[in-house]
Amino acid sequence: MCSRWLAVYSLLALAGLPLAQAATRPRYGGVLRVEIRENIESVDPPDSGTGLADLMGAFSITRWEAGLRATYAADNNAPGGRPFVDAVEVRMGRPLRDQSIDLEVGKADVIELGAGESRRGAAGRKIWMSAPVRIVALVFGPRVEDARIREGLALAVDRTAILNVLLQRQGEISGALLPQWISGYAFLFQPAADLGRARTLIAAAPPGARNLSLGVEDGGLRAMADRVALNARDAGLTVTTAPQGNAGDVRLVDAQVASSDPARALAGIAAALGLIVPARMENAEAVYNAERAVLEGFRVVPLFHLPDVYGAGPRVRGAAGISPLGQWKFGNVWLEGDRP
Amino acid sequence: MTFRTRLLLIFTLAVVASVGVVELLVQKATRREFERMDAARSDALVTQFRKEFDRRSQEVVRAVGGIGRSDSALNIAISPDPTSFYGEAGELAAAHSLDLLELVAGDGAIVSSAEWPARFGYREDWLVEHGDWREGQAFLRRAELPDGVTLALAAVSTVTAGDRKLFVVGGQQLDQAFLSSLVLPDGMRALLYRSLQPKFAAEQMLGPGPRSAELRALVEDTLARKRERYRIVGRGADAESFHALPLAGYDGAALGALLIGSSRRGLAELESKQLRYGIEVAAFGILMSVALGAWATARVTRPVERLARSATAVAAGNWDTTVEVTSGDEIGRLALAFNRMTEELMAQRERLVQAERVAAWRELARRLAHELKNPLFPLQITVENMQRARSQYPEQFDEVFREGSQTLLAELGNLKQIVARFSDFAKMPAPEMQPLDFNRLIGETMKLFEAQLARAGIAAREELDPAAPTVMADPEQMTRALRNLILNAIDAMPQGGTLTVRTRRLGPGLRLEVADTGQGLTPEECGRLFTPYYTTKTHGTGLGLAIVQSVVSDHHGRISVAGAPGKGATFQIDLGDRTG
């Protein structure tokens, strides 16, 4: 038990939390209420990926209502020891705004935070932020055959404004699929913004090719899509944002980096974005070449690498609940006081 | 056309014209009154629109001013990093019921936009260029939206914090909802044209009803002149009158136009009804005027017609005709005068007949005396010679008796001939009509006189119209009349001259002329020439021309003579009956 406490203290120190707060004695019990935007409609709870699947091991599923909620109970025989909380209750399909309200009024303990929310921290709220583990990119469909259109749109997007305003400087601008902290060579794919050249390229394309629909899979990216459409209009493209769920000529998508291993991470991203990469990438050079090959032709235009950000309510104590890769680590989290 | 018909026609026309003029005047007065009411309704609606516009303006000014004075705006203004206020405009706009709201930094860059959140960082340079924004004033402006441009009633509030400045630009769209707030009377509609594009675009016309495209000229004219304009669009019952008011922006540019349309269906229906009533009244008036006119004109014209019939009877020779006097008015006095006139005519005619009869007897006596005196004188001389020879020269008596007997017989023959001529005139037979070719008759007759004319030194000319028609006439009597005229002409030219006989078509009939170049006639002689036993010659019975006149009269023709002393005379005979 003593080693466990030492581990908790060391984690708090890593998260930069005040020792006075961290020095609260851990306690067992309580239900950790977590809210997420995602609707998981599968018949069984997921056993891979980030999020719910990360609970497996320390917790075991006790209740599963697809798309609505899931309840996980603490496993007394967990490899790292029994978690402090008795259970984790996850509500699915909660919009960010509702999550934020629920956290404010005490109906939730852990919520996802949208861009900018981390900078508006309320009193007692803790922020858990991962390394940049999600890539946001434009992926062109097969209908957009003219490379001038694709390159023109890539050059027209004002990434800096989006990062500063919409993303509130969370994350980083990137022209690469893999984040710099994983690959180490992302700086070689410097994104360019050149509205003049974008206009020239697009003007050279046939008029019929200048009308595009932009599909957005994640509602949280809608504002970014609107800005991309506005930038595209300045360059001479008519981009209309398609209703959610409709695949457009070009899609604004985000994909999770599932591994810190460059080859596995690239393969995961490629699979998520529908890109083709070599099955085996032996070394860093092979990964680089594979990524370079994917990015040539502007079929996919990386825009940003973003972190996963969670907010935790004042009852939540203990170490950060997520790993650098954004995986849930609720085993070392406990709840202070009674449930309101 | 009879007098009665003319009177009736005039009466009817007067009624129709009167009804038409009244109808026209009523229609003009109605139209003027409708236009006045229409203008009043439009003015009321324009006033209502202005009030609504002012009210909305004050709402916008209050809302924008409230935001400008809020802590939120001040926080944004003083914030060194305004990017975190990206979503602020949307919340503020919703809280203050504004359709549009932009928070713009002092350098003109958009911090937050409610109507187009993605436009953060874009510039609104017009705010900086204008500089001095006075609070409390709203204006029109074109505002960009993701799906196009809209026209908005906007106001600007400036937040100043030290050297930092924040522009709050908010407003409400001028859209269908704005128009819906206007209370429109029946038959009126309000349209709003938003001048969002360089050229007229029908889809920018907000408001109910069709005709957006038809209003193009009115809208363009209003925007170009920046003045209120008026125009009628459409025809008939579908026509509408439109008052168009330009809506100006803060810089004076015309950004839109309010169109107040008023249906003219009411006027068209009213005019239609008036026209129908007018036609019905006119038709009734015409019928009444015809009936009343017929009755009135009959009353007016009946005495006149009686007068006309009487005058015709008098003209036909019934000089004893009188008219019944039924009133004491002008017509009655005219009838009295007519009756007096016919009585006077009868009296004069009686006197004239008596005078002519006396004159005729005197002339007959004179002519008989003259005619009989000529043979009687040789008879008297011969008898006296025979008596003197028996008493003084008995040996010569036989010879004298023989010569005297011959003379007596000759003069007695003359007396017998004179008596026979008078008898012939008294016994003029009725003509036996048959188709007669006068050209042929003239040719044959003239041949008989060739030798006599030659001896008298008279040149004969025949000017015969080949188109002269055949006329029903008695050939024998006509030959006799023609001979008398030729003989008369020969007697009128003792020194020779030219005798011209002409024919020519006269309508359906024929004109026959016999002209000489003799000593001519005085007007008095022309008047008396056809009187029986009248002659200007020293010989003859004076019956020749009387016989000619009698023949012509029996053929229902007309004879006249024209001439002047020294210029010859021309006899004209007109015969009207034409036979095939």
Per-residue H/E/C for B297-327: HHHHHHHHHHHHHHHHHHHCCCCCCCCCCCC
Using alpha carbons only, what angle is made at residue B362 by residues B356 and B365, rounded to the nearest 5 degrees?
140
Q: In this structure, are residues B322 and B346 in contact, taking their beta carbons and an 8 Å threshold?
A: no
pLDDT of residue B265: 79
Q: Where are the domains of chain B?
A: 70-174, 175-263, 330-426, 434-575
Radius of gyration of chain A (CA): 22
Mean pLDDT of chain A, nearest integer: 86
Question: Which residues in chain A are closer than 8 Å to B119, comparing Cβ atoms?
Answer: 230
pLDDT of residue B251: 78
SS3 content of chain B, % helix, strand, coil (to 5): 55, 20, 25
Could you tell me how many helices (H) and strands (E) chain A has, helices first?
11, 13
A116 and B84 in contact by Cβ < 8 A?
A: yes
Least confident residue range of A322-331, B186-195, B418-427: B418-427
**Sign of the four-CA dihedral B62, B68, B69, B71:** positive
Interface A–B counts its CB contacts (< 8 A) at: 30
B116 and A230 in contact by Cβ < 8 A?
A: yes
Contacts of B87 (CB under 8 A, 6+ apart): A116, B112, B117
Taking 80 as the threshold, does the pLDDT of residue B177 lie above it?
Answer: no
Assess A227–B contact: CB distance below 8 Å, yes or no: yes
Superfamily name and number for A2-109+313-335: Periplasmic binding protein-like II (3.40.190.10)
Distances (CA, A) of A182 to A185, B47, B209, B270: 9, 70, 65, 87
Q: Which residue has the tokens 């409709």?
A: A246
Residue of B nearest to A229 (CA): B118
Q: Which residue has the tokens 């070599």?
A: A278
Question: Model confidence over B490-527: pLDDT tens digits?
Answer: 988 988 999 999 999 988 889 999 999 988 888 777 77
Give the CATH fold of the B70-174 domain: Beta-Lactamase (3.30.450)
pLDDT of residue A35: 95
Q: Which of B473, B493, B491, B458 is CA-nearest to residue B573?
A: B473
Q: How far is CA B553 from the centre of its chain?
A: 45
- Say what the ipTM of the complex is: 0.78
- Distance between CA atoms of A201 and A148, rounded to whole angstroms? 5
Percent of chain B with pLDDT over 70: 94
Q: Which of B71, B60, B67 is CA-nearest to residue B136?
A: B60
Beta strand A211-216 with A250-256 is parallel
**Cα dihedral A21/A25/A27/A30 (nearest 10):** -20
What is the CATH code for B175-263?
3.30.450.20
Question: Which residues in chain B are closer than 8 Å to A120, comparing Cβ atoms?
Answer: 84
Taking 60 as the threshold, does the pLDDT of residue B574 lie above it?
Answer: yes
Sheet (strand B110-113) strand order = B110-113, B100-105, B164-173, B148-161, B138-145
Residue of B nearest to A160 (CA): B121
Q: Hey, which CATH number is domain B434-575, 3.40.710.10, 3.30.450.40, 3.30.565.10, 3.40.640.10? A: 3.30.565.10
Superfamily name and number for A132-307: Dipeptide-binding Protein; Domain 3 (3.10.105.10)
Mean pLDDT of chain B, nearest integer: 83
pLDDT of residue A259: 87
Q: In this structure, are residues B513 and B501 in contact, taking their beta carbons and an 8 Å threshold?
A: yes
Confidence grade of residue A218 (pLDDT, cut at 50, 70, 90): confident
Question: Model confidence over A235-263: pLDDT tens digits?
Answer: 999 998 887 767 789 999 989 888 889 99
Least confident residue range of A154-168, A280-294, B133-147: B133-147
Q: Which residues of A215-242 are buried (b: 16+ CB within 10 A; e: fewer)?
A: bbebeebebbbbbbbbbbeebbbebebb
More confident residue, A144 or B45: A144
**Cα dihedral B150/B156/B159/B164 (nearest 10):** 70
pLDDT of residue B211: 64
The residue-averaged pLDDT of A177-188 equals 92
pLDDT of residue A121: 59
Q: In this structure, are residues B447 and B482 in contact, taking their beta carbons and an 8 Å threshold?
A: no
- Distance between CA atoms of B406 and B412, rounded to whole angstroms? 10
Radius of gyration of chain B (CA): 58
pLDDT of residue A149: 94
Q: Give the SS3 label for residue B136.
A: coil
pTM of the entire predicted model:
0.60
**Token pair listed for B20:** 């038409």
More confident residue, B378 or A112: A112
Amino acid, single-letter form, for residue B256: G
More confident residue, A3 or B356: B356
Assess A158–B contact: CB distance below 8 Å, yes or no: yes
- Distance between CA atoms of B375 and B417, rounded to whole angstroms? 11
Contacts of B323 (CB under 8 A, 6+ apart): B303, B306, B307, B310, B335, B338, B339
Q: Give the SS3 label for residue A286.
A: helix
pLDDT of residue B167: 92
Q: Which of B260, B227, B223 is CA-nearest to residue B242?
A: B260
- Distance between CA atoms of B84 and B99, rounded to whole angstroms? 22
A226 and B118 in contact by Cβ < 8 A?
A: yes
The residue-averaged pLDDT of A68-88 equals 91
B116 and A165 in contact by Cβ < 8 A?
A: no
pLDDT of residue A8: 42
Confidence grade of residue A233 (pLDDT, cut at 50, 70, 90): very high
pLDDT of residue A123: 65
Distances (CA, A) of A42 to A37, A66, A95, A327, B489: 15, 6, 19, 20, 148
Q: Where are the alpha helices (DSSP H) in B466-516?
A: 475-492
Taking 80 as the threshold, does the pLDDT of residue B264 lie above it?
Answer: no
Confidence grade of residue A291 (pLDDT, cut at 50, 70, 90): very high
Contacts of B275 (CB under 8 A, 6+ apart): B23, B27
Q: Where are the domains of chain A?
A: 2-109+313-335, 132-307
Assess B533–A contact: CB distance below 8 Å, yes or no: no
Distances (CA, A) of B92 to B15, B117, B171, B361: 77, 13, 12, 140
Distances (CA, A) of B165 to B68, B75, B250: 11, 11, 21
Least confident residue range of A311-320, B335-344, B366-375, B393-402: B366-375
Distances (CA, A) of B312 to B338, B465, B557: 12, 35, 20
Q: Which of B93, B407, B47, B385 is CA-nearest to residue B228?
A: B47
Amino acid, single-letter form, for residue A333: V
Question: Model confidence over B206-226: pLDDT tens digits?
Answer: 877 776 677 888 888 888 888
Residues 280-339 of A with CB under 8 A from B: none
A223 and B118 in contact by Cβ < 8 A?
A: yes
Q: In this structure, are residues B269 and B187 in contact, taking their beta carbons and an 8 Å threshold?
A: no
A164 and B116 in contact by Cβ < 8 A?
A: no
Percent of chain A with pLDDT over 70: 89
Q: In this structure, are residues B60 and B138 in contact, taking their beta carbons and an 8 Å threshold?
A: yes
- Distance between CA atoms of B514 and B510, rounded to whole angstroms? 13
Residues 67-86 of B with CB under 8 A from A: 83-84, 86
Assess A229–B contact: CB distance below 8 Å, yes or no: yes
Question: Model confidence over B285-337: pLDDT tens digits?
Answer: 778 878 887 888 787 778 788 888 888 888 887 878 888 887 788 888 888 88
Query: Rounded to the nearest 5°, which phi and psi values hold at B497?
Result: 160, -150
**Cα dihedral A176/A180/A184/A189 (nearest 10):** 30
Contacts of A78 (CB under 8 A, 6+ apart): A57, A58, A59, A331
pLDDT of residue B439: 92
Least confident residue range of A198-207, B18-27, B414-423: B414-423
- Distance between CA atoms of B326 and A173, rounded to whole angstroms? 126
Q: Which residues of B229-253 are buried (b: 16+ CB within 10 A; e: fewer)?
A: bebebbeeeeebbbbbbbbebbeee
3-state secondary structure B111-122: EEECCCHHHCCC
B84 and A226 in contact by Cβ < 8 A?
A: no
The residue-averaged pLDDT of A73-98 equals 91
More confident residue, A54 or B7: A54
Taking 80 as the threshold, does the pLDDT of residue B384 lie above it?
Answer: yes
B83 and A158 in contact by Cβ < 8 A?
A: no
CB atoms within 10 A of CB B420: 9
- Cα of A119 to nearest chain B Cα, Å: 8
- Distance between CA atoms of B124 and B504, rounded to whole angstroms? 108
Least confident residue range of A31-45, B342-356, B546-560: B342-356
Confidence grade of residue A73 (pLDDT, cut at 50, 70, 90): very high
- Distance between CA atoms of A165 and A167, rounded to whole angstroms? 6
pLDDT of residue B212: 67
Distances (CA, A) of B211 to B186, B208, B231, B514: 18, 10, 13, 88
Contacts of A226 (CB under 8 A, 6+ apart): A241, B117, B118, B146
The residue-averaged pLDDT of B445-461 equals 90
- Distance between CA atoms of A64 and A91, rounded to whole angstroms? 11
The residue-averaged pLDDT of B68-74 equals 89
**Token pair listed for A128:** 């858990």
Confidence grade of residue A110 (pLDDT, cut at 50, 70, 90): very high
- A165, A221, A228, A240: best to mutate for the B interface, most B CBs within 10 A: A165
Taking 80 as the threshold, does the pLDDT of residue B425 lie above it?
Answer: no
Q: Which residue has the tokens 């984790």?
A: A88
Percent of chain A with pLDDT over 90: 51
| Strand ranges for A119-249 from DSSP E | 126-140, 172-173, 211-216, 238-241
Sheet (strand B558-563) strand order = B458-463, B497-506, B509-515, B569-575, B558-563
- Distance between CA atoms of B158 and B168, rounded to whole angstroms? 6
**Token pair listed for A114:** 């949208």
The residue-averaged pLDDT of A95-124 equals 82
More confident residue, B244 or A5: B244
Q: In this structure, are residues A180 and A186 in contact, taking their beta carbons and an 8 Å threshold?
A: yes
- Distance between CA atoms of B86 and B120, rounded to whole angstroms? 7
